[in-house]
Amino acid sequence: MASWAITWADAAPAVTLLDTLEALTEFQRAGKIRYIGVSNETAFGVMRYLHLADKHDLPRIVTIQNPYSLLNRKL
């Protein structure tokens, strides 16, 4: 798998962001995924992921997939 996107990451976090990043780091180191990304996340949420990744020396988010179409032009 080339990448893994965390979808609706900010909805009712039963697992902490740090735990999520650590688990995805294990998948990346095992060769199961190459990159980590987010989907449907706010700019503030991405900032939190990047801060945690830098603070704990974990891989950074490299892709963002948000809805964008003729009907939805918000970013």
Output DSSP code: residue 72: -
Output DSSP code: residue 2: -
Residue ranges making up the domain that contains 21 = 3-65
Does residue 72 sit within a domain? no
Query: Rounded to whole angstroms, how far apart are CA atoms 68 and 30?
Result: 33
pLDDT values of the chain reduced to their tens digit, one per residue, 75 residues: 565 666 655 555 678 889 989 999 999 999 999 999 888 888 888 899 999 999 999 999 998 887 777 887 776
CA distances from 49 to 3, 43, 71 (A): 16, 10, 29
What is the tally of structural domains in the chain? 1
Does residue 70 sit within a domain? no
- The pTM assigned to this predicted structure is 0.73
